[in-house]
Structure 1
Amino acid sequence: MINVRFIKETDYVASGNVGRKGINLQVVDDALLTAGIWIDSDFIDVCVLDFTGKVVA
């Protein structure tokens, strides 16, 4: 998923003195956009959503 840029690495997390440091991952909001269309007898409604489901337009 990191290679297609849907998620990105953020800061390293130190969890003590034993083992390797952990890596935080974060979703890239604008990596994927989806268009939604609602068609009714009286109107047409269109929206654009980002990867997390937030309405962009």
Structure 2
Amino acid sequence: MRDNLLQELNLRSRCIETTGELTGIQAGFLRFSNIFRGIFAVVFPVLKVSQSFVYEPHVRA
């Protein structure tokens, strides 16, 4: 699901780039999507790692 979301964001940003019509709202959305993508790229692996640390001991016990 995460990959689909990223692909959709990439497609949208590409569409906006090709038309060249960057209104204030579109520019804001583009900036927000880039920030969101950056946060997601950092948070997602951290969540996976923290989950593995939390669940590992219970599995072994």
TM-score, scaled relative to structure 2: 0.27
Q: Which has the higher strand share?
A: 1
Whose helix proportion is higher, 1 or 2?
2
Provide TM-score, normalisation by structure 1: 0.28
Name which structure has the greater RCO, CA cutoff 8 Å, separation 6+.
Answer: 2
